[in-house]
């Protein structure tokens, strides 16, 4: 799905899993994953889990992320890269201008290759739901 936004939307689970192997930049309102995609252009995926809130809260957060992407990805998105925005708990209440600043900084860090350290692996016995 490509539109005037200068990026296409990721829908396949395999693409999201592949992006998880890329660069990770964590901010207070979201986590940005960036992974080169071998010439498929700028692509965006958005994930907001049930831990964040009910459907109304999750959909509001996704709308905010889409608005940020339309505004910022044309000039700041990485070419031929899959970008995944993962919502964090504080992201819904966070000021929109603050989210915008954080996304610009996160994209700059990703462009420079300065990701955060990889997440620690959860052991097999702790595979249950996190609370």
The CATH number of the domain holding residue 90 is: 3.30.230.10
pLDDT of residue 3: 47
In a domain, 117, yes or no: no
Do the domain assignments include residue 102? yes
- What's the average pLDDT block by block, 10 residues per block, for the chain (131 residues)? 64 88 90 88 91 91 91 83 89 88 90 77 59 52
Sheet containing 23-26: give its strands across.
8-9, 43-47, 81-87, 30-36, 23-26
Does a structural domain hold residue 19?
Answer: yes
Q: Total structural domains in the chain?
A: 1
Specify if 120 maps to a domain. no
Find the domain containing 41 and state its range: 8-112
pTM: 0.81
């Amino acid at each position: 799905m490509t539109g005037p936004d200068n990026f296409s939307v990721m829908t396949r689970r395999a693409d999201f899993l592949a992006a998880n192997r890329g660069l990770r930049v964590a901010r207070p309102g979201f986590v940005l994953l960036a992974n080169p995609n071998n010439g498929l252009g700028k692509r965006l995926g958005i994930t907001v889990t049930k831990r964040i809130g009910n459907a109304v809260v999750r959909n509001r957060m996704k709308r905010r992320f889409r608005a940020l992407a339309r505004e910022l990805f044309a000039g700041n998105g990485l070419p031929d890269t899959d970008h995944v925005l993962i919502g964090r708990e504080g992201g819904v209440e966070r000021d929109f201008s603050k989210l915008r600043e954080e996304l610009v900084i996160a994209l700059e860090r990703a462009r420079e290759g300065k990701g955060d350290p990889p997440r620690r692996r959860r052991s097999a016995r702790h595979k249950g739901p996190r609370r």
